Structure 1
């Protein structure tokens, strides 16, 4: 299983009045992690879009454990939790500056044609992605 790691500085604009990262920003960080994982697999999401394929979120979950604060470094770890050739679920762990688990998450996506928004089979339309996802996904 491939686990991608991304570290970044927590910006002031990402925090609330208490100096704690606002909950919706964790979803943005998950996207950053997902993009990095895709790049680590040798692909670019933008290239897929150029081919007329999008990957909308159909389900997303986040569970908050500890605070992440302004001035810290945050780390997001991302992996392919499940993949069946049609849907892909990415798992996430976000750590605060002390290395404590701050949040976990899971997002599920399906690929669709941009012009019709009709679902596609990744295995058929993006065989290179399919092969990479099969190799990188979490083993059951």
Structure 2
């Protein structure tokens, strides 16, 4: 699977994201994924509001995450999101690295599927509007 589109954001780990030992609590990495995913979707002009307006919701149906290293309070992180699949679902891979050293700390992926707003039914292929939005990166 090749990368179709990517985006990177920086996050500084806030105090409230850490456990009593100053280590980022594992569940907060999913929020960092979300920040990068929103930047990725903004880049192709199909963010959550645009999805809803086009007649579809895109719930996450699968999440995978690995934590080779942890981050700490005030650590600056680069959060990379890469769209790697779009025809039947959105598969986005993530990499969280230390911004100063580039060392990978966390990796993961999410899978989202289109659900028609009017019927509530899951689509077995992505709607044409997604292809239109991704056209500049597909050709």
Q: Is TM more than 0.5 here?
A: yes
TM-aligned CA deviation for residue 110 of structure 1: 0.4
Partner of 2:42: 39
2:135 maps to 1:131: yes
Partner of 1:58: 61
Question: RMSD value over aligned CA atoms?
Answer: 2.0
Does the Cα contact within 8 Å between 1:123 and 1:130 map onto a contact in 2?
no
Task: Report the 3-state secondary structure (helix = DSSP H, G, I; strand = E; otherwise coil) of the residue aligned with 2:138.
Answer: helix
Q: Distance in 1 between matches of 2:81 and 2:11?
A: 14
What TM-score do the two structures reach when normalised by structure 1?
0.84
Does the Cα contact within 8 Å between 1:66 and 1:101 map onto a contact in 2?
yes
Name the CA shift for 1:40/1:124 in 2 (closer, same or farther; >3 Å): closer
Task: Report the 3-state secondary structure (helix = DSSP H, G, I; strand = E; otherwise coil) of the residue aligned with 1:122.
Answer: coil
TM-aligned CA deviation for residue 126 of structure 1: 3.9
What TM-score do the two structures reach when normalised by structure 2?
0.85
Task: Report the 3-state secondary structure (helix = DSSP H, G, I; strand = E; otherwise coil) of the residue aligned with 1:95.
Answer: strand
Aligned residues: 134
In the TM superposition, what are the counterparts of 1:57-76 in structure 2 within 5 Å?
Answer: 57-76=60-79
Aligned with residue 122 of structure 1, among 109, 126, 138: 126
Partner of 1:101: 104
Gaps of 5+ in 1: none
Gaps of 5+ in 2: none
Spell out structure 1 runs of 4+ moving beyond 6 A: none
